[in-house]
Structure 1
Amino acid sequence: MRMNWVNILLELPADAVLREFLEVNGLELPEDFDWTDTPETSRAIVDAVLAHTDLSVRDKLSAKLRASSVLGDAAGKQSMMEVAAFDSSVLIGLASCLSDLHRSFWLYVKFPEIFDRALDINYFDCHGGRAQQHDLNVKTRPNTSDAALAALRNEVSDFYQRELQCGDRSLAYVVERSPGVFLLSVHVKDLATLQLEFDGDDLKRRVGNPNIHSALEYSSSTGVTRSLVKGGAKYHQMLLGAFAQHLLGVNVDAQRLMPPTLDLSKLRLGFDVPQAMNDGFSVLQVKSLTLLSPDNQLKLDCTAMAASDRRCVTELIQDAIPDVLNQNWTVVAAQINLYYPPEIGKSRSKVVSVEVTRKGRLNLHKFDATMQSKLEGYLVALGVLAQGQTLSAVEQQAESSVNPEPVI
């Protein structure tokens, strides 16, 4: 839930950055104003905003304060740290902030362009469950020069002008999220709209152009992409083709742009991955399966309930309705729960839930890079993912999962 501007001001420290922000946006406080960081100071700033006679200044301050708080949570912090990883001065500044909200506000004021790149990362991570995965089979560092990005923008704009009669303007950026993993963000100008809005005391219709936002994540070590595009397969193929041609320097055929079909049949036997136990998990459970009958006329969703004491749903199906697993029903989706032992003094275990579908959709974007690499390794070891279908290079980890080295 988004915070309102009053709560944001009450939580932010009354420091030099806040003072700069207020002055730049038209709120001049008395020269003798006490900037000691106390709750009373924050309350006095709120009162000064409310008492300001210029409604446009109050509206601008409240709108910008709300915009500055968008990354003020754990996911936003991760996005900011990723985009700042290659700039030590920004990274040090973020680390010195007092809270996630403070970090978001500080970056918004001091480095607005970096803030926007962090927003793009956050957008992809929040909606990554809808991303489609493809294997371009091209392993090279993308060309992020101005000329390459301009060529990509032109092709994307041409496509939208043909398909939707919009897109005469576009912007594109590439951020290296981690070594070898890149995120392309493309913003396209949509058709003009009329929005009914207040302008002071008057209600007016404003002309504006919404933003069509697309994103593509690419691993140069595996050649795998995950694309988040509105509009279906044609739009995914357009973005993938433009990315490959202009940033990777290759032309890809339509076959390469088909999403992979994952083999989830191995999950019929549970989730037996020794490396996961070596990594500290105490229980590995196939929590749920979605199965499709051989004639494609019936879909069955099965979930292991709490009373099952963390038994795999496959065991429960075998006990209750064994014919389902014995008659070649296709596993089309699954949820896998991996449990850590309870912390000392606590009874509840921390759980990591992996969701995967036969069409190649996974929720691994929810986890940090280290955990994502581990989970991909487990899926490779089990045979759900092929080694070339991961965003991180997990071949070595997968091999150690299957043939663990003896402990000496």
Structure 2
Amino acid sequence: MISLADLQRRIEAGELSPDAAIAQSHAAIEAKDKDVRAFVRHDTAAKAQVSGPLRGIAVGIKDIIDTANMPTEMGSEIYRGWQPRADAPVVMMLKRAGATIVGKTTTTAFASRDPTPTLNPHNPGHTPGGSSSGSAAAVGAGMIPLALGTQTGGSVIRPAAYCGAAAIKPSFRMLPTVGVKCYSWALDTVGLFGSRAEDLARGLLGMTGRSEFSGIAPAKSPRIGVVRQEFAEAVEPAAEEGLRTAIKAAEKAGASVQIIDLPVAVKEAWRIHPIIQDFEAHRALAWEFDQHHDEIAPLLRASLDETVRLTPKEYDDARRVARRGRRELGEVFEGLDVLLTYSAPGTAPAKELASTGSPRYNRLWTLMGNPCVNVPVMKVGGLPIGVQVIARFGNDPGALAAAWFLENALANSG
């Protein structure tokens, strides 16, 4: 993969020009994307900017995020050729920081269920995950150092795990979702993909200008609570192996690790996530559902048809459960720095299964709004396995510092 941090250091030292850095990504896309199919559009004319902390950094944008100079088709025939007039705020944040937008990456239709043509960069017979398929695969394949995705259930952390990339789903509303096709306004979160935690920190620093992302270093002896999420159904042996490997490396590096159980209210919040998601999806996609029903991708259409009778009372009750869960989850972090759990149920499913994988180990943390970071751990059968580091709401720097600690621990574990 291409490291954003390494590119920045070389550019600042005068060893690499921003133009040369962008040219490297263009060349990598030309060489690799015919096999991975991560991009729906590649702007071959995109040039480096002359200033800004992210100058020389090529970025891919998930194709549900508006761009003024490229169509935003949302993975749907309904929006074929649709050209927004303005860039979404998150795109402008990147541009103002000096980044170069080199293309739009694939998304499942409206960031939902139906697989894209994108292939897993580690094995083309397997899915890259969804819905941020192209962004995860483009970074995992070493085409670009940074990409934007979105997560409503598990669409940043899960594809990052499948593609062997680092990624952060920041605290809810850390990054604006204006100009991003809405699926669920209570859940949709813009996230970043990179090669490691330091890259994510530098990307967020450049985009947001928040001083808390400056000077992040690996955490020292973090206090880690391991959550196996038994309520989220069984895990595959490969994912359990990855979690055990991460625990062993963390303990060897000096972390204190304990197995913890989550409060009942938090477990109940996991159950009601789909109610909030699906109720809001019916409002966010009301025009498409009413005016273009038969053109909606089949898996999404079936899901919308199945949940059309969700009531406002069910939604309001679910929101109350979510609020209780957030209150009680805050208490879990007393005495702990981060939680550690699975990023996905196992390795990436075979492409022939027409599945982007299950978000069942991600959806609770999306609903709670906590920052989550995927840390690649190992490969099983040639496919990556990751673990998920979760910090208290608003403590995104702490999540990245703990993830960086774990990366180093894994690298030094032999």
Scaled to the shorter chain, the TM-score interval is under 0.3
Q: Which has the higher contact order (CA 8 A, sep 6+)?
A: 2
TM-score with structure 2 setting the length: 0.24
Normalized per residue, which structure has more strand?
1
Point out the structure with max Rg over C-alpha: 1
